[in-house]
Structure 1
Amino acid sequence: MSLSQITRKFLLICFFFLLWYIVSSFYFEQKELLSDQNEETLAKVHLAPPLTLSNTTVTTITDDVNNNNPLNELNKKYCGKPTCKFLFVYYIGEQETKANLHFRSFSQLAEKLNRIMVLTNVGSSRIGTCTNFPFDFYYNTNLLQKEFPNVLFKSENDFIFWLKERDQIKKINNNDNKVIPPLSILHSSIKLHNNTFSEETNFDKHKCISKFEPLMNTKDPNNSRVKYTRLFIRTTDLRTGKSRVKSSELLTKFFTVDEEILLVNGKVIYPLFPQTMPVIPYSDHILNEAQKIKDKLSSSYIGIHWRLESSIPELLPECVQGLIKTLNKIMEEEGIKNIYLATDYPLLSSRSQSSTFKEITNYHHDAIRTLNETFKINTWVSLGGLEQLRKNDKYNKELSGSGIQGILDKLVCVNSNYFISGPKGCSRSSSFTRAIADKRSNRIKNKDSGLLNIIDRWEIPL
């Protein structure tokens, strides 16, 4: 082969190599550009993490997710910050007087944990999600907020709206659990125990949580990631303010968690924190009803709290005679003519005003009949209390049992000039009675209060 032929062949090889290089370079450049275009598309819908091209990290997507994550925006709308953390004490195992105390304790816990406190529903003298009325049916939420200025409160309806919007966003972004992950929930039961402060994982779910399904389906791992704990607190750790210092610190530490929702089923007797907060103020519409009744009772009246449920039926004939004797003495000595009776005896129907008072005997009927035949006895029913609610059928169950009228009775007795309750055997010294006495004890310090005593017990005649 001649030198010229070798040269031409070499040049031809170089030409094809150069052509291959140009085409290849164009192909890889187009491929890289397409990757950038895909990256921009992914950034808009927040579906992919940043990719690395030519040893360079593309950060546009991460920045966009941080700034415009739809869950963050929802949380800012409802909670004022990118993350919503709720404390939802959905069940408190006490009637209103003690439930009022325990809700305050859990509000203190919400403040310590920097969590939003859900204003659980109320009804039938309870605070619990099983009931039918919003929190402000019983309580003044504006004054509650003033008592806890560092706690953000949301109603159950607000909580449901948040769940709904979160669920809608999740459906739109259903291919990316990093953007809208399942709900994270710590479901805890708190109970008193005679032994040490401890945790157990065995847990019984409360049926009323099902009302939030399917938005908060605790059985579906795609909907909710749930942890269950059962927490026991020694009774000795809650009996005094001093003993509650350590236990409240331990409780706060235990519940310092990242879960969005802290669901609590609380059955405790004593406050959880050293400081006992003031009673949650009642709604204006109940206060107005109490004032109307006070006005109808004229200048002065005797308030009686007679809880018949805990009485000994066979002793009731003597009990009522002792009450009559005591009333005559007070009316003569103090010049008081009007009497107001707060009782669990049936007033609107054949059922008692207490859900636990089921066995009403002739002894009970005869005692109330004797009292009515001796004096003009006024009650919230006879004085037209809660008249507007009584016109609406949806409040029938509430008014026929232990409910809003119990709060009304409490307020009327607190304002009575003279207050009496039954002795052992005739009645029971309940937290309801003690709450009235405590309030009167504070008021009687004011010389203009018009209160003549804090509380007296009538005696059974010998």
Structure 2
Amino acid sequence: MSLSQITRKFVLICFFVLLWYIISSFYFEQEELLSDKNEETLTGVHLTSNTNKTIITDDDNNKNQLEELNKKYCGKPICKFLFVYLIGEQETKANLHFRSFSQLAEKLNRIMVLPNVGSSRIGTCNEFPFDFYYNITLLQKEFPNVLFKSENDFIFWLKERDQIKKMMNNNNNKNIPPLSILHSSIKRSRNTEKTFYDDAETNFDVYNCISKFKPLMNLEDPTNSRVKYTKMIIRTTDMRSEIARVKLSELLTKVLTIDEEILLVNGKVVDPLFPQTMPVIPYSDYILNEAQKIKDKLSSSYMGIHWRLESSTPKLLPECVQGLIKTLNKIKEEEGIKNIYLATDYPLLSSRSQSSTFKKITNYHHDAIRTLNETFKINTWVSLGGLEQLRENKKYNKELNGSGIQGILDKLVCVNSNYFISGPKGCSRIASSFTKTIADERSNRIENKDSDLLNVIDRWEIP
């Protein structure tokens, strides 16, 4: 065999060996890539990636829905409320106490829920919204750092939160817990040796009107609301001076700085809680306009009288009315004022008094008012057509036949009177917050020299 033939054969053999090697290597790599082990690994990574993606998306959506609700309603991802659902005392003092709790809301950085009003009270049991008595826009200006929401707004938040919670729970993602609530009673007491704050029994202060928020807020259902109960009993002397109230307000702010979403308070405190006393909550434009109409009808000048007959001694009333007549005649002669406006708890629209606590009306009371009417033309909010639109609607009958919106109207008319008088001891109540509020406002106006008021307050004498 020649050399050329041998060389050709060797080249062919090398070629086929190389070809076999290439084909074998390719087959082996494909088999390895398609093996069960690698297929499981790739599939596992793929499934894990999808599972994680699904969970994150659902949680974020649910979480974002709740946060978006809170941001829309509260301006923050978490809502915290102060809801003082009961404020003791009638409107004049309740007005003062509401201001104290608004100061507390500011210190605690909580939204202040505006309770309903009616029958000269502030509290959730009443029939009318807060703005029936008060101007919320001006209230907000007095407390620029406090966000105020109505009861209806609060119910809206509860309802929306409940819907989000149900949706999440239906998806087996129980990520929204029950409402967290601290239910506290804050009361002043003459019988305690010191102010204290402590846990309370679950039924410490049954107040049935809270039930109107069920089923959205149910204090008896642990799946709906996780409730803790506390009480603060305040020693009377800890509220009487500005220095004492500094310490009290610091204690109150400290113990009520909590994480719970809702701070429910039953408040009967009588005196201010903070050293600074804020101005009177501004009244609604409707009541202010009614007061102006009455002032216009009384012409250029008038005398205002506040006579709370409930606090009088009935047998003294014949002498009381004679003393009032004598004083009115003297003012007419000296000041030239002829018109007279009477603010009173005596019955004006029905046989019932204008005060829910004034029940024993005697002939002495009837005779005193009759004598006054026979001597002068006496004007009242009824005779001058005050609150006429409300009087045409039966919805307001109970309000107008008791102590309610007309008490605020009386207060405003007396504040604007050129001359203001009230009764002496035995004829009227001396320590009246209603009378004091009128006198304080008149004093401020006279000090500022922005009115034509002739006095702050005078009391007539018994002859």
Q: So what's the TM-score if we normalise by structure 1?
A: 0.89
State the shift of 1:226 in Å: 0.6
Q: For residues 79 and 115 of structure 1, what CA distance do their matches in structure 2 show?
A: 9
Match of 1:107 among 92, 102, 106: 102
Residues 86 and 115 in structure 1, CA contact (< 8 A), matched pair in contact too: yes
Equivalent position of 2:186 in the other structure: 190
* 1:231-269 deviation line (CA, Å, top 9, x unaligned): 111111111111111110110011100000101100001
Matches within 5 A, 1:300-339: 300-339=301-340
Change (3 A) 1:376 1:177: farther
Instruction: Compute the RMSD of aligned alpha carbons.
Output: 1.8
State the shift of 1:446 in Å: 3.9
Q: What SS does the aligned partner of 1:401 have?
A: coil
Change (3 A) 1:336 1:308: same
Gap runs ≥5 in structure 2:
1-27
Moved over 4 A (4+): 175-178
Q: For residues 187 and 345 of structure 1, what CA distance do their matches in structure 2 show?
A: 39
Equivalent position of 2:228 in the other structure: 227
Equivalent position of 1:4 in the other structure: none
State the shift of 1:28 in Å: 4.6
State the shift of 1:444 in Å: 1.4
Q: For residues 250 and 79 of structure 1, what CA distance do their matches in structure 2 show?
A: 26
Letter matched to residue 179 of structure 1 = N
Among the aligned pairs, what percent are the same residue? 79
Q: What SS does the aligned partner of 1:170 have?
A: helix
Residues 238 and 247 in structure 1, CA contact (< 8 A), matched pair in contact too: yes
Residues 134 and 281 in structure 2, CA contact (< 8 A), matched pair in contact too: yes
Letter matched to residue 105 of structure 2 = A
* 1:129-174 deviation line (CA, Å, top 9, x unaligned): 1111111111111111111111111111111110110111111111
Match of 1:440 among 439, 442, 455: 442
Q: What SS does the aligned partner of 2:287 have?
A: helix
Matches within 5 A, 1:32-111: 32-46=45-59, 64=60, 68-111=63-106
Equivalent position of 1:453 in the other structure: 455
Residues 168 and 174 in structure 2, CA contact (< 8 A), matched pair in contact too: no
Q: What SS does the aligned partner of 1:444 have?
A: helix
Rg comparison, structure with higher value: 2
Change (3 A) 1:177 1:387: farther
Change (3 A) 1:454 1:84: same
Equivalent position of 2:12 in the other structure: none
Letter matched to residue 26 of structure 1 = E
Q: What SS does the aligned partner of 2:35 have?
A: helix
Letter matched to residue 121 of structure 2 = R
Equivalent position of 1:372 in the other structure: 373
Q: For residues 69 and 397 of structure 2, what CA distance do their matches in structure 1 show?
A: 38
Q: For residues 371 and 127 of structure 2, what CA distance do their matches in structure 1 show?
A: 37
Change (3 A) 1:268 1:189: same
Equivalent position of 2:20 in the other structure: none
Q: What SS does the aligned partner of 1:104 have?
A: helix
* 1:173-201 deviation line (CA, Å, top 9, x unaligned): 11567532211111110011332221231
Matches within 5 A, 1:27-426: 27-46=40-59, 64=60, 68-174=63-169, 179-193=175-189, 194-200=192-198, 201-202=200-201, 203-426=204-427
Q: So what's the TM-score if we normalise by structure 2?
A: 0.89
Q: For residues 89 and 80 of structure 1, what CA distance do their matches in structure 2 show?
A: 21
Q: For residues 446 and 36 of structure 1, what CA distance do their matches in structure 2 show?
A: 74
Letter matched to residue 138 of structure 1 = Y
State the shift of 1:29 in Å: 3.7
Residues 323 and 459 in structure 1, CA contact (< 8 A), matched pair in contact too: yes
* 1:315-337 deviation line (CA, Å, top 9, x unaligned): 11111111111111111111110
State the shift of 1:40 in Å: 2.2
Gap runs ≥5 in structure 1:
1-14, 47-63
Farther off after superposition, 372-381 or 24-33: 24-33
Q: For residues 176 and 36 of structure 2, what CA distance do their matches in structure 1 show?
A: 44
Q: For residues 444 and 44 of structure 1, what CA distance do their matches in structure 2 show?
A: 66
Q: For residues 366 and 22 of structure 1, what CA distance do their matches in structure 2 show?
A: 111
Residues 92 and 126 in structure 1, CA contact (< 8 A), matched pair in contact too: yes
Letter matched to residue 109 of structure 2 = N
Change (3 A) 1:258 1:402: same
Size of the aligned set, in residue pairs, is: 427
